[in-house]
């Protein structure tokens, strides 16, 4: 695994940034090194600026950091008012030569900690403040995109459950010298520019023993800082790299807990003081009575006065930060996570520290003001977790095994949908395992599973074949893993539409597990499920329902009631019953599935998105669009947060379903948003699926034009045009090309339309084909709209000649083309030819073509008025009105127009009759 992949936080080790702003700053290497050494930090934590505007911009961009600002007096007077109230600014220090000059204005800003004329006391003060903030901000840190230390434990938010499981695996991972060396290597890379910390790392490497884990964790050095950052961001990649040390820490804390509290009952009160973000405090206030998990090792004290000191006692308050004290009431009977007094082992022996293990669960009892400046948060340490959640813990613990390795850790990552990190762990293991390792076949299979679930079937099949080869050489054919791989390969054949081949592989897997007397109920369930879906896709619905029932029977016997696999089975039965027109039971199954998934899966899991989408699709099929949109939007939100490949088929299905629903209801804003995602999805394919990029980009352009956004319309029509031009000229591609060129004509780009219609016509091998006829017709329309009558007639006539090769199948096109020619001829004064074309058009249209026939009758009537054939004009206006009344697409205004013209003709005829009478 590449280091750049496994250390997402390596560029910013500490939990803070120091910004030093001075127009005449000394950037000498030795000066910077001295400051770094004085503060005992990594050099990448110090950022120097000479330009105040660049400095302000940098501060504003880093809104998720904790920033300590050192600024010269002259620049400070300008910059401090601009940045003082930003939440990322923790403290400000004025470093100048004239203390008196800058004392007056700086008093107005509470974050200004002092004015310093000597660097030494400044470094001392700065180091102390950094330590307070670093120690205080670790345990609870929420509100940032990648930070999730405070996790609410309830039925809707189950991320807590998955993190608990991950931490449980890390605690049980085997410790090897390789794991220790890897941890040391990463520590050295992170502190490569810090000689002091490098010496500490060397000391750790040489002297560390398992019984010194607590001492090293409580020591203010590299280890605590690196873990601090990993815990605060919940970076599992980084935490995993420290599993060697974390296992020792957990074991030592567990031993102390048993020694100190193993046989005791009663209660113990401990305290913790720290700063807390206002948003985090509000969340605690709003969730009194509920359970939370703080995911770090929590350092507490038996003495409240120590906690008050760490809280800052209100002295370091600033905008967005509050001083708080946690009062934690511990039930000594709680055994789920250890806690113990560690003062004999701690590097800080005077603090009477009690360390509580990471992942401990608390109930929020009360949040209130303790003093004018300090909030008191009362927590109770509790092992109270809902029965269904405990069942799920037990199932996964059993599935992972008592002595899991990195392999099982990857399985767990896969189960929560975190495929990329699971893949990275497995690929690292491929390098580390010897070529004859017994786990190699399972590893190949698991990698294949990740690629299959991400939609990369070819890569998956390659790994499955390697797994088959490995199992053949190691365990033989009569082994459960042989059945597992055959079942997985069957899933790929099923996804490819090779259903008979898929069923053959499923039967092979079933044969193996039946003849080795396997008791692996989950494997039976998987094979039954695969056979059911294959039969369903073949249209053998009763056979499919039979195997789905077998799946459900097995799952109900061996799985907790709230388990994702049971939800999947309910989903499949629900869809099958819907297909069989059994609506009420179908929806009942789907909602059972959804209830389970909301209980047990992270909110970004693809299975949850699929279930939302299925329910939405069922409502859509029944015309229940408002119910459908609710579920389809939830499916979109869920899949957008998932870790599936950007072009995964599940994404495609959800986006296309939502797009169809939005288009049907003319919810244009939703359509536009989804069209963007669809274009990006097809562009992400390897190679890009240019046909669908062109198709949906063209639709997106049309929608932007209809909204009046001309620039974006042109942008996406150009993307469509560029994409379709890269494809070969198959029939379907040519027709889309012509449609895109049509769109350019629609938005007024006539020259582009003419150029590409002409190009397509030149490329058309068969000059008499129906496609050539359509191109001539489009060019005719284009020239017609520009009043270039002779060119329009030329192309209309050419189109008509092509269509006449298939008069029976192109009657409507022939009629419309004759009508278009007739209208131009009428405008040119050739009324006789115009009438001939219009009569011919009417003669070839079928009787039920009411709309076109009404238009042609009106055009013929108009032509008759030109030659003052009023009787003919009256006849055809009357026919036009009758036909328009019968046509579904005709509007009242069209009919009214025809009636007005008829009245004019009749009036003209009456006038002529009167004139004739007078003359007589």
> Using one digit for the tens of pLDDT, what is the confidence trace for 576-629?
999 999 999 999 999 999 999 998 888 888 989 999 999 999 999 999 999 999
Q: What is the structure's pLDDT at 160?
A: 60
**CATH superfamily to which 150-164+173-385 belongs:** Toxin ADP-ribosyltransferase; Chain A, domain 1 (3.90.176.10)
Q: Is 16 helix (H, G, I), strand (E, B) or coil?
A: coil
Question: How far are the Cα atoms of 596, 815, 825, 882 from residue 864, in angstroms, in the given order?
Answer: 73, 19, 13, 18
Question: How far are the Cα atoms of 83, 879, 891 from residue 888, in angstroms, in the given order?
Answer: 66, 16, 8
- By CB atoms closer than 10 A (0-12, 13-18, 19+), residue 427 is middle
Q: Is 357 helix (H, G, I), strand (E, B) or coil?
A: coil
Report cis status (omega within 30 of 0) of the bond before 687. Answer: yes
* Contacts (Cβ under 8 Å, ≥6 apart) of 459: 448, 451
User: Which DSSP string corresponds to 50-83?
Assistant: S-HHHHHHHHHH-TTS-EEEEEEHHHHHHHHHHH
Rounded distance, CA 36 to CA 42, Å? 7
* Distance from chain centroid for Cα 368: 38
Question: How far are the Cα atoms of 704, 742, 749, 776, 787 from residue 752, in angstroms, in the given order?
Answer: 19, 10, 6, 16, 17
Q: With left for phi above 0 and alpha for psi between -120 and 50, is residue 518 left, alpha or beta? A: beta
* Contacts (Cβ under 8 Å, ≥6 apart) of 645: 454, 455, 456, 684
Of 463, 477, 474, residue with least CA distance to 439 = 474
Q: What is the structure's pLDDT at 522?
A: 77
Task: Dig out the tokens for 469 from the structure.
Answer: 């080869």
- By CB atoms closer than 10 A (0-12, 13-18, 19+), residue 79 is buried
One CATH from 3.40.50.2300, 3.30.497.10, 3.40.1280.10, 3.40.50.300 for 3-137? 3.40.50.2300
Task: Please state whether beta strands 89-95 and 112-116 pair in parallel, antiparallel, or not at all (unpaired).
Answer: parallel
Q: Where are the domains of the chain?
A: 3-137, 150-164+173-385, 846-920
Q: What is the structure's pLDDT at 44?
A: 59
Q: Is 809 helix (H, G, I), strand (E, B) or coil?
A: coil
- By 3-state DSSP, what share of the chain in percent is helix, strand and coil, each rounded to 5? 65, 10, 25
- Residue position matching structure tokens 């509580």: 356
Rounded distance, CA 93 to CA 80, Å? 10
Of 39, 41, 59, residue with least CA distance to 49 = 59
Q: What is the structure's pLDDT at 412?
A: 73
Strand partners, 328: 270, 379
680 CB neighbour count, 10 Å cutoff:
15
* Distance from chain centroid for Cα 276: 30
- On whether the CB atoms of residues 627 and 638 are closer than 8 A, the answer is no
Task: Dig out the tokens for 122 from the structure.
Answer: 């400044």
3-state per-residue secondary structure call for 128-171: HHHHHHHHHHCCCCCCCCCCCCEEEECCCCCHHHHHHHHHHHHH
Task: Dig out the tokens for 878 from the structure.
Answer: 């009357």
Q: Which residues in the chain come in under a pLDDT of 50?
A: 1-11, 30, 37, 138-158, 385-389, 401-404
* Contacts (Cβ under 8 Å, ≥6 apart) of 540: none
Angle between helices 564-579 and 541-558 (to 10 degrees): 160
* Contacts (Cβ under 8 Å, ≥6 apart) of 131: 220
Q: What is the structure's pLDDT at 389?
A: 45
* Distance from chain centroid for Cα 895: 52
* Contacts (Cβ under 8 Å, ≥6 apart) of 198: 188, 191, 192
Angle at 712 between CA 711 and CA 716, to 5 degrees: 120
Beta strands in 349-442 (DSSP E): 353-356, 361-369, 374-381
Task: Dig out the tokens for 785 from the structure.
Answer: 């709209």
């Amino acid at each position: 695994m590449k280091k750049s992949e496994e250390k997402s936080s390596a560029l910013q080790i500490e939990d803070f940034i120091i910004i030093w702003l001075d127009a005449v700053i000394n950037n000498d290497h030795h000066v910077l090194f001295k400051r770094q050494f004085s503060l005992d930090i990594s050099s990448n934590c110090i950022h120097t600026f000479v330009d105040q505007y660049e400095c302000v911009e940098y501060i504003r961009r880093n809104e998720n950091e904790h920033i300590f600002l050192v600024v010269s007096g002259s620049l400070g007077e300008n910059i401090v008012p601009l940045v003082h109230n930003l939440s990322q600014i923790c403290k400000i220090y004025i470093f100048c030569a004239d203390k008196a000059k800058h004392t007056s204005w700086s008093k107005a800003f509470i974050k200004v900690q002092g004015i310093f004329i000597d660097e030494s006391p400044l470094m001392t003060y700065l180091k102390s403040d950094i330590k307070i903030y670093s120690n205080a901000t670790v345990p609870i840190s929420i509100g940032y995109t990648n930070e999730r230390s405070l996790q609410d434990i309830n039925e809707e938010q189950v991320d807590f459950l998955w993190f608990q499981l991950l931490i449980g695996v890390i605690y049980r991972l085997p410790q090897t010298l390789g794991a220790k060396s890897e941890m040391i290597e990463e520590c050295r890379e992170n502190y490569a520019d810090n000689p002091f910390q490098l010496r500490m790392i060397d000391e750790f490497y040489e002297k560390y023993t398992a019984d010194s884990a607590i001492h090293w964790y409580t020591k203010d050095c590299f280890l605590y800082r690196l873990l601090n950052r990993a815990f605060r961001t919940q970076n599992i990649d980084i935490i995993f790299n420290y599993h060697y040390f974390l296992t020792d820490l957990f074991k030592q804390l567990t031993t102390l807990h048993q020694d100190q509290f193993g046989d005791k009952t009663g209660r113990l009160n401990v305290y913790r003081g720290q700063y807390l973000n206002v948003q985090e405090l509000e969340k605690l206030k709003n969730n009194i009575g509920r359970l939370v998990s703080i995911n770090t090792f929590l350092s507490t004290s038996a003495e409240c006065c120590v906690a008050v000191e760490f809280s800052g006692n209100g002295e370091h308050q600033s905008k967005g930060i509050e001083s708080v004290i946690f009062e934690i009431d511990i039930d000594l009977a709680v055994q789920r996570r250890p806690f113990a007094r560690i003062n004999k082992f701690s590097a800080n022996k005077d603090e009477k520290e009690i360390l509580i293990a990471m992942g401990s669960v608390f109930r929020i009892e009360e949040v209130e003001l303790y003093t004018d400046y300090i909030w008191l948060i009362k927590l109770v340490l509790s092992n109270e977790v809902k029965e269904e959640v405990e069942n799920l813990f037990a199932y996964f613990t059993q599935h992972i095994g008592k002595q899991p390795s990195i392999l099982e850790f990857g399985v767990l990552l896969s189960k929560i949908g975190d495929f990329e990190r699971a893949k990275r762990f497995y690929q690292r293991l491929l390098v580390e395992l010897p070529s004859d390792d017994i786990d190699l076949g399972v590893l190949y299979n698991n990698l294949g599973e990740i690629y299959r679930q991400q939609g990369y079937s070819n890569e998956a099949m390659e790994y499955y074949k390697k797994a088959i080869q490995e199992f053949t050489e190691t365990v033989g054919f009569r082994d459960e893993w042989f059945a597992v791989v055959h079942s997985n390969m069957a899933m790929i054949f099923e996804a490819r539409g090779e259903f008979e081949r898929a069923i053959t592989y499923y039967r092979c897997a079933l044969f193996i597990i039946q003849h080795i007397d396997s008791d692996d109920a989950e494997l039976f369930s998987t094979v039954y499920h695969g056979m059911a879906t294959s039969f369903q896709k073949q249209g053998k619905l009763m056979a499919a329902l039979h195997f789905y029932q077998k799946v459900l029977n097995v799952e109900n016997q061996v799985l907790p009631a709230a388990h994702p696999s049971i939800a999947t089975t309910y989903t499949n039965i629900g869809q099958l019953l819907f297909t069989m027109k059994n609506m009420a039971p179908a929806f009942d199954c789907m909602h059972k599935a959804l209830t389970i998934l909301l209980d047990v899966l992270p909110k970004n899991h693809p299975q949850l998105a699929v279930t939302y989408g299925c329910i939405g699709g069922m409502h859509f099929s029944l015309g229940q669009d408002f119910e459908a949109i609710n579920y389809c939007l939830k499916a979109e939100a869920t899949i957008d947060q998932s870790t599936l490949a950007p072009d995964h088929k599940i994404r495609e299905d959800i986006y296309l379903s939502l797009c169809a629903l939005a288009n049907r209801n003319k919810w244009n804003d939703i359509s536009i948003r989804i069209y963007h995602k669809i274009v990006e999805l097809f562009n992400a394919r390897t190679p890009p699926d240019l046909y669908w990029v062109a198709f949906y980009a063209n639709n997106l352009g049309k929608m932007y034009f209809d909204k009046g956004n001309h620039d974006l319309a042109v942008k996406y029509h150009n993307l469509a045009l560029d994409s379709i031009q890269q494809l070969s000229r198959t029939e379907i591609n040519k027709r889309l090309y012509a449609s895109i060129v049509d769109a350019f004509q629609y938005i007024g780009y006539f020259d582009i339309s003419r150029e590409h219609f002409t190009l397509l016509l030149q490329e058309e091998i068969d000059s008499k084909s129906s496609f050539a006829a359509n191109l001539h017709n489009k060019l005719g329309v284009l020239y017609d709209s520009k009043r270039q009558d002779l060119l329009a007639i030329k192309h209309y006539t050419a189109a008509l000649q092509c269509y006449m090769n298939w008069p029976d199948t192109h009657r409507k096109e022939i009629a419309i083309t004759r009508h278009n020619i007739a209208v131009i001829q009428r405008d040119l004064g050739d009324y006789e030819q115009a009438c001939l074309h219009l009569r011919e058009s009417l003669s070839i249209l079928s009787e039920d073509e009411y709309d076109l026939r009404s238009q042609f009758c009106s055009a013929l009537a108009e032509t008759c008025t030109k030659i003052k054939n009023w009787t003919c004009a009256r006849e055809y206006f009357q026919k036009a009105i009758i036909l328009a009344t019968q046509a579904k697409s005709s509007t009242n205004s069209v009919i009214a127009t025809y009636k007005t013209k008829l009245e004019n003709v009749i009036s003209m005829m009456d006038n002529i009759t009167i004139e004739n009478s007078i003359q007589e």
